[in-house]
Structure 1
Amino acid sequence: MGKTKCLTTEVQGIDMNIIDTIESFRATITALEHIRNDSDGLEHQIQATMSVAEQNGVDPGDEYNRHHRQSKKARRIDDHPETAASLSLVEHYKKESIAVLDAQINAIKANMEAVTNILQSCDLASTTLPRPSRQYRIGTVLCYVSCVDATR
């Protein structure tokens, strides 16, 4: 959450330009993908969270078992419901953490793609002739776009 909070604060800043925004998107995506792919790191984070809970008088195993009862399918659906997989506390929260990270990565990639598409349609690189410019507001990012002849 800290990585995406920093990105949100930076992108919503008044002095932010589009190129810096795209670089911030790329850096955040890389960092989140690294966290997602670091299986041991996620397990250590969950263990650290369990340790803090125990220091505050909460038994994580007891809480997990109370709120995450293993549901078994009915015999009419599954002939052997006793063979259903059960996830441990660490495995469960690791799976949930990966799902959250995947959602964040996909949302940031979608935003980056939208900004990139806007830039490509604007043709910001056209500086050959002085032409009148128009001002557009994209979220809180302000950019000036040179008017480009569509027939060339």
Structure 2
Amino acid sequence: MILLVSDNRLKAGDRLTVDQFRSKPLGRGDISLARKAYANLDILQRAVIDPAISRGEVVVGASSVVVKTIRDIDALINDGRQERLVKAACVLDRVDPGDHDSHAALKGCEGHQIISDKQLGKVRTRIAADLANKFGPIISLDSIF
């Protein structure tokens, strides 16, 4: 999985931070990824990078992770009666109109709806930290492919 990074506070060699995995977009499944097996630099340039530049963003590189690594992240949820481990995040094969064929979405998943908003914020902060640690360092787009 490839995450393009357009945070101008970061540069090649840096690690991702929790800022790349904000709570609300994670909850909605609005963190866009690309499946490396189905993407190439031309596709990402046309479908992601050029639109980002037109919005005034600066794409500083990309970070990657094996999808199984994301799926293996668990979160501890306490609903007031019991604690249990649930899947923290999932990768959805989601291609909406206008998306490139390799598009996928990162989303917080199962069990999160049973806790309060305050608890959810704390859980998603931990999930964001876990995701940031699992993705590799930021590298140039040419190096991804």
TM over 0.5: no
TM-score (norm 1): 0.26
More strand by share: 2
RCO higher in structure (CA 8 A, sep ≥6): 2
